[in-house]
A and B are shown apart, each in its own frame.
Chain A
Amino acid sequence: MPVVLEFENVTKEYRSFASKRRLRALDRFSLAVEAGEIFGFLGPNGAGKSTAIHLAMGFMRPTGGSGRLLGEPFGHAGTRRRVGFLAESVALYHRRAERLVRFYGALNGMGGTQLENRARQVLEIVGLQDHANRNAGKFSRGMMQRVGLAQAMVNDPELLILDEPTSALDPLARVMVRELLLSARNAGKTIFLSSHLLSEVELVCDRVAVLHRGRLARLGRTADLLQAGERSEIVARAVTTKDFDGAVARGGIVSFSVPSHSQRTALEKVWKLGGEVVSVNPLRRSLEEIFLEVTAEPESRSSEGVQ
């Protein structure tokens, strides 16, 4: 798969003019996003996610390293014609929603009936067709976010870079965005999604990266990361909860978890006690657990943990 977004040893330091202090937001950060995937970009507040996105969009320059967006160096204006971007806090001009979407489309070189039709279409996709003639500057935060999504999609981009696209949306709208992302991927688009809503990321993302203190702490396929649990759950009959640490009983069935490496010993113990093994399942972790694990790691450990 071709790489559409690539960071190579990117470092970004913010320097305060007044206090002469330096803050390293990204530290030798490398990442490659492949075409046709939904890529989840996670990390706690201040981890450097937005900085990485702003560097990719050319809003700022890296202090060190380099990167490419759709094969061109970061900051190449012409390339952005093929990119759709939604910022974390959407700010809109006080214009009618449809005119606003057309304005952004026109900035990308679109025009005529093609732009008019496309503007109407994307407003319909985000469920704002009935509000197309209202002043977008007076919309609620959720509606503004939807207009933001519409302007990001107006040029039918190959790559969508979305920074917290669902943070202000209600559950219904979140489902709409989820379906929109999946259909965009099915149409061959790439989506780079930064979000704190881990359950959403878990549902839609093919691969996930976790950023911590400006460094890549985890990277892998979502399914692999979730199944990379180091414990197994054993469900057995005809044994008691006293025989196993942390075991719980329900309706004559006892279940307990053991580290994967001692799974065999535990099974043999069940049989030795005259019990019957009902099932053995690797314990599936949630992204939340992985996220908490990464953010609890000391600085040196988190940078070593890239898979």
Chain B
Amino acid sequence: MKPVGLIAVNFAREQRWPILTLLLWVLLLAFLGLVTDIHRQREDLLFVFKQDAIYVLAFSVFFGGSAIYNERRSRRILGVLSKAVGRQQYLSGLVLGVTIACALYCFALGLTGSWTLGGAGFPISRVWFLMVCLVTACTLAGTVALMFSTFLNPFFAAGATAMVLGLPVLASQILGPRWNYVIPVWELGATVLNSSFNSPGTASWLPVVLAAVETLAFWLLSARIFAYVDIAVAVE
């Protein structure tokens, strides 16, 4: 487990600038909380909160889709995998790294959301439930992107990830809402987007559990593919 933790922390450290940039948006929410009347401007605050939430989903795909590519291109992956680190451990470290990066952001968003939205009457427990949904969705989206990045460059990996995450949404429009649960990233994102002061929603743990199980499944698939990849060769 030690190498997994080291790789994860190292990954999050390497992504410190995108993470800090993301945190600037959270600061915007905190700033609005300071300068506005949070009771009168609560719908605006909720809008900014939802906007911040969706950004991190996009960033999780960006983090996952570029992680292996950047390491292979810079050849730093050789330094890590020349140690007693298995490829599965390496991938686990990256998944954990993506989760840490997104969780840091979601924690900051949860804190400022509790302060601003909580002050405006939104249930604080609901804010933290939404953050759990968001972190789980980010981990799943990041893992899908990571799987594609084992053999595709980041641009195609992001496109393929968008397709995989989007197909169940399309299917749900035609075949029924149950299809949203096939890969529940959209379902979890919609939980955040559909929350309002009038109807904050109830805590449904099914998509969270499904997302956790599917993260494991996609990680296993990634490990299977990555075991056969020539990592010393540049990605085409």
Contact = CB atoms under 8 A, between A and B. Distances in A.
Interface of A: 14, 16-18, 50, 54, 57-61, 77-81, 83, 85, 87, 89-93, 103-104, 106-109, 111, 148, 151, 155
Interface stretch (B57-65, B77-85, B106-114, B136-144): B77-85
B232 interface: yes
Given A17-B236, A92-B76, A103 B6 contact: yes
Q: Which of A54, A89, A103, A107 has the most chain B CB within a 10 Å cutoff?
A: A107
A80 B74 contact: no
B40 interface: no
A126 B21 CA distance: 38
B231 A104 contact: no
Contacts of B10: 93, 103
Contacts of B200: none
Contacts of A77: 84-87, 89
Contacts of B78: 54, 57, 59, 85, 87, 91
Contacts of B80: 107
A81 B83 CA distance: 6
B74 A107 contact: no
A108 B233 contact: no
Given A77-B85, A93-B10, A87 B228 contact: no
B231 A60 contact: yes
B84 A109 contact: yes
A107 B76 CA distance: 14
Interface in B2-23: 2-3, 6-7, 10, 14
Contact of A107 (B84, B87, B230): B84
Nearest to B80: A107
Given A92-B76, A104-B83, A106-B2, A16 B230 contact: no
Contact of B231 (A14, A59, A89): A59
A50 B232 CA distance: 9
B74 A91 contact: yes
Interface of B: 2-3, 6-7, 10, 14, 74-76, 78-87, 89, 228, 230-233, 236
Contact of B82 (A78, A83, A92): A83
A54 B79 contact: no
Contacts of B74: 91
Contact of A91 (B3, B76, B84): B76
A163 to B, nearest CB: 10
Contacts of A78: 84
25 contacts: A18-B236, A54-B230, A59-B78, A59-B81, A59-B230, A59-B231, A60-B230, A77-B86, A77-B89, A80-B85, A83-B82, A85-B78, A87-B75, A87-B79, A89-B75, A91-B74, A91-B78, A92-B76, A93-B10, A104-B79, A106-B2, A107-B80, A107-B84, A107-B85, A108-B83
B140 to A, nearest CB: 27
B230 A61 contact: yes
Given A87-B78, A87-B79, A60 B232 contact: yes
Nearest to B229: A60
Contacts of A155: 83
B155 to A, nearest CB: 15
Contacts of A60: 230-233
Given A103-B10, A107-B6, A93 B84 contact: no
A14 B79 contact: no
A91 B77 CA distance: 9
Contacts of A58: 81
Contacts of A50: 232
Contacts of B82: 57, 80, 83, 85, 87
Contact of B83 (A16, A80, A91, A92): A80
A85 B75 CA distance: 13
Contacts of A89: 75
A50 B71 CA distance: 18
The 3 A-B residue pairs whose C-beta atoms are closest, nearest first, are A85-B82, A60-B230, A81-B84
Nearest to A14: B233
A150 to B, nearest CB: 12
A189 to B, nearest CB: 16
A91 B80 CA distance: 11
B90 to A, nearest CB: 9
A80 B76 contact: no
Contacts of A148: 79
Nearest to A88: B75
